[in-house]
Chains A and B, each alone.
Chain A
């Protein structure tokens, strides 16, 4: 079927896609690397005719930058907390869903619901749930009108209310709120993938195990988890990739302040750092940070693949 007419035609079909990709995908790869290795590159100065010398100064500067280190730390902490929690919860829910008949469809629908939400909008709902209305600056004589529904629930069970996200709140409290929100957001995709995996496991394995009289826990550990391991590896890898790119969920809860009122930027992430650098026209710094982010994602993904190669049964 290969003839010259076809060759020519294929490129016509591909032309629009290639044109857009060349400008907005291929060129950026080269240009971003170029800007990262030009000392203190600034787009604004470049248009005014400034030239920049070649060097790794941007990388050194970014890594020495206190705010970048704090962004890196936040990103890492959120990743390390949310990926295991959401994966384990999703696994339990998926296994539970797979074992029941009545109510399965409706529960499955409910668990998928957070996927089709706007992370800024629902972030605002979470903020409302954790917010102490009336606390502005944490001073003594403020009139706190309502402690927020989460604190109401805590008080109902006899606990003391926590300053989750307001002025003067603790870093750990902020991270706890973010973890809850990110896990809530991450569950649907993971449940969908894991449930799909569970439903494709051959029932004969379970029948054989039952004949042998294996216990539930043994069946779970020896059959379900190993046969599900490709899916588990997949949700963990995509979870980490998504986790390293965390940004809008924090904007949803804390606004563009990226932190409580008294400590703006406290919860900023790697992606946030990149956009902050970009908005101050420091493209060199932004590019270096983006390449570092890419490097981290690559290393973590390869690490995951290496571990799963040893553990995953295909």
Chain B
């Protein structure tokens, strides 16, 4: 009799412990979700505020109690933003620079990565190590001299100055070389036996296999052109060649005081939109490129 009673007691205890554990687990889960969702809302808030403000009339924006959705939706802000900042011309300039520099950069990167991954030549390892070492140096150190160089070459206020100095990225060469190295050498040797030329092999085998890396490089390079600010401002800040970021900053120099924020926010939204679209459709490649840069250390 006594034994049986003891057993039911401990069973009850066990059940109580199990319930308590479940409650703790549930609370922790709730806490985790609450934290993540609050952080996500904070991260998203500036985007929401940008769009919300860009659709308001100036009077509504200036109301002392803010409205969280415009009473009167002002699509026309976008038209005036487009006109004020001359965004059309800026878009065209940026796309020209972005596309040309991406294509040239891809060609150079593929050729160099191929040489480092597949060809044998004297001093290969030393050259490669030397290239990697330059990645440690802050870009400003190069810019000081390059500014003088391009001035002497008479390149200021041309597309050339925005494209050529940044054609070679050691990091992209490194990234692509690592990718090329993963392709088995036997394929290359077999192609050699068949009498396939290096270029044909590169085009038919290596490039298709390394396509994800090439897409990542393309996106990062285009985003670079879209977001570059310091160099263009220094060497090509004339109306004919100005890029989008500089144009945006130049068109809206006032950041504090009484600014026509709805129009300014509409311009910001227009500049952010292409990046957002790229993100939505090509997120996988961006994240791959970025995270691979994360493992380079």
Quick check: is A31 within 8 A (CB to CB) of the other chain? Answer: yes
> Interface of chain A, helix or strand or loop or mixed?
helix
Q: How far is the CA of A6 from the CA of B227 in the complex (A)?
A: 40
Q: Give the shortest distance, in Å, between A49 (CB) and chain B (any CB).
A: 15
| Residue ID in chain B nearest A129 by CB atoms | B49
A14 touches B144 (CB 8 A): no
| Closest chain A residue, CB of each to CB of B142 | A28
Contact between B49 and A118, CB atoms less than 8 A apart: no
* Residues of chain B lying within 8 A (CB to CB) of residue A113: 43-44, 47, 279
A152 touches B66 (CB 8 A): yes
Contact of B261 among A93, A133, A187 (CB under 8 A): A133
Chain B residues 252-275 with CB under 8 Å of chain A are 252-259, 261, 264-265, 268, 271-272, 275
CA gap between A117 and B146 in the complex, in Å: 27
**Which of B112, B254, B265 touches A14 (beta carbons < 8 Å)?**
B112
**Contact at A21–B131, with CB atoms within 8 Å?**
yes
A266 to B110, CA, bound (A): 45
1/0 per residue, CB under 8 A from A, across B218-259: the answer is: 000001001101100010000000001100110011111111
Residues of B with C-beta under 8 A to A291: 141
Chain A residues, Cβ within 8 Å of B265: 124-125, 128
Are B119 and A271 touching (Cβ within 8 A)?
no
A107 to B43, CA, bound (A): 10
**Inter-chain contact B35/A96, CB cutoff 8 Å:** yes
Known: A25-B134, A255-B249. A278 touches B143 (CB 8 A): yes
Q: Name A3-59 residues within 8 Å CB distance of B.
A: 6-7, 9-11, 13-14, 16-17, 20-21, 23-29, 31-32, 35, 43, 47
In the complex, what distance in Å separates the CA atom of A113 from the CA atom of B64?
Answer: 30
B290 x A120 contact (CB < 8 A): no
For B1, list chain A residues within 8 Å (CB).
none
Report the Cα distance A29→B39, complex, angstroms: 43
Q: Judging by beta carbons under 8 Å apart, are B144 and A196 in contact?
A: no
Please report the C-alpha to C-alpha distance between residue A279 and residue B223 in the assembled complex, in whole angstroms: 26
Name the distance in Å between A264's Cβ and chain B's nearest Cβ.
Answer: 12
B3: interface (CB < 8 Å): no
Contacts of B49 in A (CB 8 A): 125, 128-129, 149
Interface flag for A298 (CB, 8 Å): yes
- Quick one: CB contact mask for B16-54 with A, threshold 8 Å, 1 for yes? 000000000000110011011101101110110110010
B297 within 8 Å of A by Cβ? yes
Q: How far is the CB of A69 from chain B (nearest CB, A)?
A: 18
Are A134 and B258 closer than 8 Å at their CB atoms?
yes
Residues of A near B227 (CB, < 8 A) are 118-120
Query: Is B9 part of the contact surface with A, judged by Cβ < 8 Å?
Result: no
Known: A146-B64, A290-B144. A118 touches B245 (CB 8 A): yes
Task: Point out the residues of chain A lying under 8 angstroms from B42, CB to CB.
Answer: 184
Which residues from A are CB-within-8-Å of B142?
A: 24-25, 28-29, 32
Pick the residue among A120, A152, A278 that contacts B248 (CB under 8 A): A120
* Contact in complex: B149, A24 (CB < 8 Å): yes
Report the count of interface residues on A (CB-CB < 8 A): 109
Q: Please judge, given known A-B contacts A13-B114, A113-B43, A298-B136, whether A27 and B145 are in contact too, CB under 8 Å.
A: yes
Q: How far is the CA of A244 from the CA of B140 in the complex (A)?
A: 12
Alpha-carbon separation in the docked complex, A120 to B248 (Å): 8
Mark each residue of chain A from 109 to 149: 1 if its CB lies under 8 Å from any CB of chain B, else 0.
Answer: 11111111111111011111101111110000000011101
Per the bound structure, the CA–CA distance linking A117 and B276 in Å amounts to 8
Could you list 22 examples of A-B contacts with CB < 8 Å?
A7-B122, A13-B114, A16-B107, A16-B168, A24-B166, A28-B145, A93-B39, A107-B40, A111-B43, A124-B255, A131-B257, A133-B258, A133-B259, A152-B66, A165-B256, A166-B257, A196-B291, A196-B294, A244-B138, A254-B255, A290-B144, A298-B136
Residues of B within 8 A of A (CB): 28-29, 32-33, 35-37, 39-40, 42-44, 46-47, 49-50, 53, 61-66, 107-109, 111-112, 114-115, 119-122, 124, 127, 131, 134, 136-149, 151-152, 164-168, 170, 173, 198, 223, 226-227, 229-230, 234, 244-245, 248-249, 252-259, 261, 264-265, 268, 271-272, 275-276, 278-279, 283, 286-287, 290-291, 294-295, 297
Question: Chain A: residues with CB nearer than 8 A to chain B?
Answer: 1-2, 6-7, 9-11, 13-14, 16-17, 20-21, 23-29, 31-32, 35, 43, 47, 89, 92-93, 96-97, 99-100, 103, 107, 109-122, 124-129, 131-136, 145-147, 149, 152, 165-167, 184, 187, 189, 192-193, 196, 216, 231, 233-235, 237-238, 241, 244-245, 247-248, 251, 253-257, 260-261, 271, 274-275, 278-279, 283, 286-287, 290-291, 293-294, 297-298, 301
